[in-house]
Each structure stands twice: as C-alpha cells, then as structure tokens.
Amino acid sequence: MSDCLFCKIIAGDIPSYKVYEDEKVLAFLDIHPVNLGHVLVVPKAHSENFLEMEAEDREVVMMVVAKISKGVMKSVGAEACNFMCNIGQGSGQMIFHTHIHIIPRFSGDGHTLWGEMKEVPDFVAIAEQIRMSL
C-alpha cells in the first residue's frame, strides 16, 4: 500500500533499526518505545490487522515473535516481556498494518496494561455469547 508507513519501511523507503528479517517478516525497533528494546514484528504482506492476515502469515509472524523475544529480553536484561497486538482504532491501533509489539519488562518500570471492571460481569452469559459467535 503506497501510503502505509510499515510498507514503506519494508520497501526500504523509510529507514528503520532492523533486528530481524526474512522473506516474510521484518522486525525493527519501535521509535516510540515503552521500554528499551521495544520491537515491532510485521508481516511483509500488507494486512490491516492480525485478524485480516492470511493464516500462513499469522503462523510465521508468531514463530518470529517467539524466536526473537528471548534475544530481545537477553540483550536488554529484561525480566519479562509483553506481546501486544492492537486491532482497530478503538484498541489504540494507529498504523493499519498488522504488527506485534514485543515490550521488554523490568520490575518497577511503571508500565501498566490492565484496569479492572468496577462491576463483576455475568461470566456465564458472556461465555455463552462468545461460544455462540464462534
């Protein structure tokens, strides 16, 4: 896609700090990192989000995420990491090309991901609704 930032990075039109590349996947440092070593893993084939990807590309991307996560953590001395994939504008997706964040984590880094609902939901009803929609 001619106006996609990540497609331009993949094509080499925009520079990036590559950490991994093969015929289907590119991984590079996020220029607005949450923590040191924050990496984005993107399929070279354009898709708007993880749910829109071809199944084969989804498998390959996740294998690369698993492969390089250990190296990311080791290189920056992280104790843990988060994988994160935003799907849609409401989730915070800003670039509409599938990408997985690998975010190294450190004790006391202050980064938070989860808030809790104030009211306990009807778990039985929600589980049933999800099962029925599959």
Q: Strand order of the sheet with strand 100-105? A: 18-21, 25-29, 39-43, 100-105, 80-84
User: Among residues 40, 54, 57, which one has the least CA distance to residue 5?
Assistant: 40
Q: Which residues are catalytic?
A: 99
Written as one letter, the residue type at 125 is A
